[in-house]
Structure 1
Amino acid sequence: MSRNLLKNPYGEEELEFWDLTENGGSQWKVEDMPGDCGFDFCIDGVTKYFATSFELCLKRQVIDLLAEGFSAEQLDAQPAVMVEDWYCGRTDCGCTYQMATSLLDENHEVIQEFKPEEVTLDPDSDDCSWKQISHTFSDYGPGMRLISFEHGGHDTKFWDGWFGVRVTGSSITVDV
């Protein structure tokens, strides 16, 4: 079984291992599930999530695949790279969610990127419950040495506090 290469995907260690690339408003916060106006997570054992604020909050990890024990030969064989993320909104405030995952070469140049359209969750037209987004990279050519994963968002009403998108359970696996 492939292991998750992202460290601290559920917030059990607060914001450890995450580079806060945008930390606006009341900034990032880790909260206990289900939180105010929230939903329980659909996987047993998940007790925390990351909450965003009224200005854009983005966090990132860059995974060095050679440091994680993969060889250049394994990586140049173009193994499947799977990315997953979970996000939800609150039942009292709309929010936006965005994510981007990039396969990078040794010079941090993008080989291939997955960057879906930004999602807006509105409690008037959506139940705002936990949703999963996933993607599998393949046929991207040789040279991948790093993977960049970034996600986040903000609320749509600009309320002071943590009314923006909630994220947890992020995962990146490489199938060698």
Structure 2
Amino acid sequence: MAKNLLKNPYGDDDFSNWELTQNGGDKWIVEPMTDNAVASYFCTSHKLCLKKQVIILLQSGYDAAYLDSAPEVTVRDWYATRHDCGGVYRLTVSLLNENREVIATFKPADVTVPAETTWTQVTHTFTGYGPGLRFISFEHGGQDNKSWKGWYGIRVTGSSVTIPPKP
């Protein structure tokens, strides 16, 4: 079974392993989950909040020959809003070569999410992208759509990037 290559996908260790690339408004926070088996989630503010991880695949147990065979790379992310405020969700995942140049990118249009949206999963599988994969950049986040001061923006949790183990 493929393991999740992202570290700290639920915010259990606050923001360790994440680079805060945009930290607008009242900034990112981690909040406890009250109605699910997941312990916590990341919460955005009234201005754009984005966070990123870059996965170094050669340090994650994959060898160059296997990566050059272009194995499937599956990305999953979960987002939701509060009961009283909608938001905008953003996701960008890029496959990078040894020079950190882009091989392939998954960047769906920003999603405007109404208030009271329950947890929604987005998923994408990269295939047929050719040789050279060495890094994966995963960046996501958003903001609220009412510009309310505080943490009324998009919530994200349970993010994952998986590559099947070498056969």
Any residues of structure 2 matched to 1:65-144 within 5 Å, and which?
Answer: 65-123=57-115, 127-144=116-133
Work out the CA distance in 1 between the residues paired with 2:138 and 2:130. 19
Counterpart for residue 37 of structure 1: none
Q: Please state how far the C-alpha of 1:94 moved relative to its aligned partner.
A: 1.2
TM-score (norm 2): 0.97
3-state SS of the aligned residue for 1:63? strand
CA RMSD, Structure 1 to Structure 2 (Å): 0.8
Counterpart for residue 52 of structure 1: 44
List alignment gaps of at least 5 residues for structure 1: 35-39
Say whether residues 1:18 and 2:10 are aligned partners. Answer: no
Deviation >6 Å, runs of 4+: none
3-state SS of the aligned residue for 1:27? coil
TM-score (norm 1): 0.92
> 1:30 is aligned with what amino acid?
V
Q: Deviations over 1:8-31 (max 9, x none)?
A: 000000011000000000000000
Work out the CA distance in 2 between the residues paired with 1:20 and 1:112. 23
Q: Please state how far the C-alpha of 1:47 moved relative to its aligned partner.
A: 1.2
Work out the CA distance in 1 between the residues paired with 2:113 and 2:2. 32
Counterpart for residue 143 of structure 2: 154
Work out the CA distance in 2 between the residues paired with 1:134 and 1:86. 9
